Amino acid sequence: MNKNFIQEEILRSSGVNPKKCMKCGKCSATCPAYDEMEYHPHQFVSMVENGDIEPLMNSKSLYRCLSCFACIDRCPRSVQPAKLVEAVRLAVVRQQGKNHLTANDIPELIDDETPQQLLVSAFRKYTK
């Protein structure tokens, strides 16, 4: 897949303008999943801006964003990094047809109290 095409697609579907970023790192300072991520929110912004998207698409970091929107609210420049993470994740599950979670995995992962919301959210975030 053409590198520029993916970049454009990600920028378009996310609605994010990474050029607004002033590289303060507040998104990564506020991110609750930081330690689980190989690439951190501020890196998503600068790597997408530079068209360096391949490593992001291959990274587990895509599935670590909790959609807590803290980076969106606290960004002084209104960059909305979480929307970029989401757009790259969608590019992977759509274009590469990769499912990060299958129904077969579920029984092992749940307990008696697991709320439906958890299954639904996880499926939404991890699959096509």
Partner 1 sequence: MKVSYFPGCTLKNKAKDLDEYARKSAEVLGITLEEIQDWQCCGGVFTTAKNEIATKLSSVRALKDAAAKEQPLVSVCSACHNVIKQTNHAMQTDSDFATKVNNYMAEESLYTGETQVYHYLEMLRDLVGFDALKEKVVNALSGKKIAAYYGCLLLRPNGVMQMDDPENPQIMENFIRAIGATPVLYAMRNECCGGYISMESPDLAANKSNAVVKNAVAAGADMIITACPLCKYNLIKNGAEIPVVYFTEVLAEALGVKEDTNE
Partner 2 sequence: MQRVGVFVCWCGSNIAGTVDVAAVAEALKNEPGVVFSTDYQYMCSQAGQDIIKNAIAEHNLTGIVVCSCSPRMHEATFRKTAAAAGLNPYMVEIANIREQCSWVHKDMTTGTEKAIILGKAAVAKVNLNTPLTPGESPVTKRALVIGGGIAGIQTALDIADAGFPVDIVETKPTIGGKMAQLDKTFPTLDCAACILTPKMVDVAQNEKIRIFSYSEVEEVGGFVGNFDVKIKKKARYVKEDICTGCGACVDKCPMKKNPNEFNLGMDNRPAIYIPFAQAVPKVATIDPNACNMLKNGKCGLCARVCAAGAIDYTQKDEIIEEKYGAIVVATGFNPISMEKFDEFAYNQSKDVITSLEFERLTNAAGPTAGHLERPSDGKSPKTIVFVQCVGSRCDACSEKGKEYCSKICCMYTAKHAMLTRDKYPDTDVYVFYIDVRTPGKNFDEFYRRAVEEFGVKYIKGMVGKVTPEGDKLKVQASDLLSNKQLHIDADLVVLAAAIEPDKSARPLATMLTASMDTNDFFTEAHPKLRPVESPTAGVFLSGACQGPKDIPETVSQAGAAASKVIGLLAKDKLTGNPCVAHSNELMCNGCSSCERVCPYGAITYEDKEFRMPNRTTKIRRVASVNPAVCQGCGACTVACPSGAMDLKGFANSQIIAEVDAICK
Q: Which residues bind partner 1 (CB under 8 A)?
A: 12-15, 32-33, 35-36, 63-64, 66-70, 72-73, 80, 82-83, 86-87, 90, 101, 109, 111, 113-126
Residue 34 to residue 120: CA distance in whole angstroms: 23
Handedness of CA 16, 19, 21, 23 (dihedral sign): positive
- Two tokens, residue 2: 């053409």
Q: Is 13 in the site for partner 2 (CB under 8 A)?
A: no
Decide which of partner 1, partner 2, none touches 77; Cβ closer than 5 to 8 Å per partner kind.
Answer: partner 2
Q: Is 16 in the site for partner 2 (CB under 8 A)?
A: no
Residue 62 to residue 58: CA distance in whole angstroms: 8
Of the candidates 3, 4, 24, 51, which one interacts with partner 2 according to CB under 8 A?
Answer: 24
Q: Is 40 in the site for partner 2 (CB under 8 A)?
A: yes
Question: Do the Cβ atoms of 44 and 85 come closer than 8 Å?
Answer: yes
Smallest distance from partner 1 to CB 59, Å: 14
Residues with Cβ within 8 Å of 110's Cβ and at least 6 positions away in sequence, in order, are: 118, 119
Smallest distance from partner 1 to CB 125, Å: 6
Q: Is 68 in the site for partner 2 (CB under 8 A)?
A: no
Question: Do the Cβ atoms of 101 and 120 come closer than 8 Å?
Answer: no
